[in-house]
Structure 1
Amino acid sequence: MAKFFIVFLASALCFTTLLHFAAADADDLDRFHIKGSVYCDTCRVQFMTRLSKVLEGAKVKLECKARENQTVTLTKEAVTDKDGKYEMVVMGDHEEEVCEIILVESPDAECGEVNNQEFLRNAARISLTANDGIVSNEVRTINPLGFMRKTPLADCPQVFKELGIVPDVIF
């Protein structure tokens, strides 16, 4: 009798767990937390160096467009905190759209240039669907995006030397 009770209890537990997953709100799979950061590219090399600084108060925009006709289907803005980080929550599945985080505005007058060359655009594509093979369908972490300083800092050549690179920048 005790074995029957234990098997019954274990079966009931498994069944209720299965029901819980089956009854989960579908919106749970369509809620995305986007996290990223914005910095000032003080050496104009399009990656962070020890001289880069984070930007508080920078504006970024999420923009999703339909693949077929490029119609904007979603826009949302965020502002960076004191650590240069931003977060936003997006609802809904956007599998059939191209979504990007785009730099909008820099709070620093000296560091406000955006590289508009198509292959070097200051934007990051983001997948906003649970049907993409990404293990976590909740958090999407974006690579840091940088506004360029109008002129590189005087210490940049030393940083390049430390990194062992020869930049395509004239000082």
Structure 2
Amino acid sequence: MAKVQSALLIAAVIFLVSMLGVSGAEKPAAGKSRYKVTGTVYCDVCRAKFVTRVAERMPGAKVKLECLNTTNEKVTYSLEGETDKNGMYHLEAEGDHDEDEICGVKPVKSPKEDCSEVIKDMWAKEFTRVTLTANNGLVTDTRKVNPILFLKTKPIAVCAEVFKELHYIPGENVHP
């Protein structure tokens, strides 16, 4: 009987200590949050508006992380960056941007003249969304962003083969 009581006491102590850790981790102190925002920029050589096997990573592309107030749409935070030799960007964002803000990364400038068009149609978003808050269940401070694309002026020759492999017909309304 004493062994059962000891085991229950130990379990209760472990539970209480773990709850203290969880309650202390709810929200970091203001101004203390830092997030590593990473993503890749591609030249969409097929003008598919999604990454294909022939899409080219773009070293030297400029991107901007912006957070906007959801009420008045004013910029509350802004940070610019550039892709490395692998076409990847790594931004160090500061602050916790939660309910009242929406954050995202958008293309700013392409290093290639023949691949500098930004997608602007009904399916494209103004920027690729990223969550910069500790109040969302994510346990890591790294935020991975969906790919950003610049469109090539004219598709390259292999694109017809790529589309055939994907059973994709450009120009068809493939969205619901």
Q: 1:26 aligns with which of 25, 28, 42?
A: 28
Looking at structure 2, the residues matched to 69 and 86 of structure 1 have their Cα atoms a distance apart, in angstroms, of 29
The residue type paired with residue 120 of structure 1 is A
User: Post-superposition shift, 1:92?
Assistant: 0.9
User: Post-superposition shift, 1:22?
Assistant: 4.5
Q: Is the 8 A contact 1:122 1:145 kept in 2?
A: no
Q: Is the 8 A contact 1:36 1:86 kept in 2?
A: yes
Task: Name 2:114's counterpart in structure 1.
Answer: 110
Q: Is the 8 A contact 2:119 2:149 kept in 1?
A: no
Q: Is the 8 A contact 1:36 1:144 kept in 2?
A: yes
Residue-by-residue CA offset, 1:60-118 (whole Å, 9 max, x unaligned): 00111111111111110010001000011111111110111010000011100001225
User: Post-superposition shift, 1:122?
Assistant: 5.8
Looking at structure 2, the residues matched to 132 and 152 of structure 1 have their Cα atoms a distance apart, in angstroms, of 40
For structure 2, the 5+ residue unaligned runs are 1-8
Question: After the TM superposition, which residues 122-141 of structure 1 pair with which residues of structure 2 at under 5 Å, given as runs?
Answer: 123-133=127-137, 135-141=138-144
Aligned partner of residue 161 in structure 2, secondary structure: helix
The residue type paired with residue 55 of structure 1 is M
Report the aligned-residue RMSD: 3.2
User: Post-superposition shift, 1:136?
Assistant: 2.5
User: Post-superposition shift, 1:48?
Assistant: 1.2
- Scaled by the length of structure 1, the TM-score of the pair is 0.81
Looking at structure 1, the residues matched to 166 and 155 of structure 2 have their Cα atoms a distance apart, in angstroms, of 16
Q: Is the 8 A contact 1:32 1:128 kept in 2?
A: yes
The residue type paired with residue 158 of structure 1 is E
Looking at structure 2, the residues matched to 76 and 128 of structure 1 have their Cα atoms a distance apart, in angstroms, of 13
Looking at structure 2, the residues matched to 65 and 122 of structure 1 have their Cα atoms a distance apart, in angstroms, of 12
User: Post-superposition shift, 1:140?
Assistant: 0.7
Question: After the TM superposition, which residues 12-161 of structure 1 pair with which residues of structure 2 at under 5 Å, given as runs?
Answer: 22=24, 26-27=28-29, 30-95=33-98, 96-121=100-125, 123-133=127-137, 135-161=138-164
**Number of residue pairs the alignment of both structures matches:** 165
Q: Is the 8 A contact 2:103 2:131 kept in 1?
A: yes
The residue type paired with residue 40 of structure 1 is C
Aligned partner of residue 120 in structure 1, secondary structure: coil
User: Post-superposition shift, 1:31?
Assistant: 1.6
Identity %: 39
Q: Is the 8 A contact 1:41 1:48 kept in 2?
A: yes
Q: Is the 8 A contact 1:122 1:146 kept in 2?
A: no
